[in-house]
Every structure is written in C-alpha cells, then in structure tokens.
Amino acid sequence: MFNHSARRAVLLGGLLCAATLARAGCSVSEHASPDIREVVVQHGGYEISTAKCELLNRHNLRLAVTGEAAVLSDVSIGWATVRLISSGNVVSSQVQTSTYVNRFAGSSEVAGELLVRAINDAVAGLDFELAAQEVKRKMASR
C-alpha cells in the first residue's frame, strides 16, 4: 500500500496537523506523548462517544492520555491512563486505567493494538461528568 517513507510522512503530517486522535466525527483535543500519538494513529485512532466528545468541547477540556505499548520477554503489554485536563493544565484526579496482556503474541504490532484497546476502555470507563466538575472546581479555586 504505502512504502515506509511515504507512510511515515503521512503519520508525521497527521500528528502535526491534527489535534485529535479520535475516530469518526468527534473532534477532541488531547494531551499525549508523541509515542502514544504515533501508535494510536497507526491503529486508526481511539473511540469516544458523542456525548463524551460534546462534554469535553462544551467545557473546553482535553483528554490526558498516558500509557505504553511494550514487549517484555515475548509478552505484549498495552496499558493506558486517561483523565481530563483543562487548557490551563488543571488535571482531574478522577482517572481510569486499563491494561491488556497477550502472552501468546509478543510483537510491537500486538502491543500497539493492546494500547489502543486500553485507551478505549479507559475512555469508556471514566466518569467524564465527575472529572469535569472536579476540574471546574479546581480552576475556580485558583
């Protein structure tokens, strides 16, 4: 389909131009490392419901995503932590974490898939309303 350098150019262009990694029609800003962004882009983005997307945009919040895709002793691991963050870098203490392990397929491709799966689960499991209220309270007390 793409040669390696063309694919890399597309990925880098997407990372530089796009502020979101979410799939479908949702436009959500996020705060994540370049490594996480690259893995997520390679795997087609992550999933977020329309309701959660609208809540983030309404409150001018972003997703704060941390995690890792790794292969250790031929075991693929993907873990992620998701919380909400304001444009002023106020972060919720409300957090959702997810981890996936595949003992039978030790590869960076599988680990990347597990990372995206962990992000999806963490996004789905996080109470966005509670986290948004917390960020709003923290910002008001500054």
**31 C-beta neighbours (distance < 10 Å), count:** 16
- Looking at the chain, the number of H-run helices and the number of E-run strands are 5, 4
DSSP 60: T
Please give the DSSP secondary-structure letter assigned to residue 104.
S
Higher pLDDT: 88 or 26? It is 88
Where would I find the H helices in the chain?
Answer: 4-17, 34-42, 50-58, 108-125, 128-140
Q: Percentage of the chain surpassing pLDDT 70?
A: 82
Average pLDDT score, the chain: 85
Q: Which two tokens stand for residue 37?
A: 């962004």
Instruction: Determine the structural domain holding residue 20 and report its residue range.
Output: 4-140
pLDDT at residue 1 greater than cutoff 60: no
Note the pLDDT of residue 15. 34
Nearest to 119 by CA among 137, 105, 93, 99: 99
- Under a CB-based contact definition with an 8 Å cutoff, are residues 83 and 67 in contact? no
How far is residue 80's CA from residue 115's CA, in Å, rounded to a whole number?
6
Q: pLDDT tens digit string along 19-68?
A: 456 655 667 778 899 999 999 999 988 899 999 999 999 999 999 999 99
Q: What is the structure's pLDDT at 88?
A: 92
Name the β-bridge partners of 85.
62, 91
The count of structural domains within the chain is 1
pLDDT, residue 85, reads 97
CA distance 6 to 4: 6
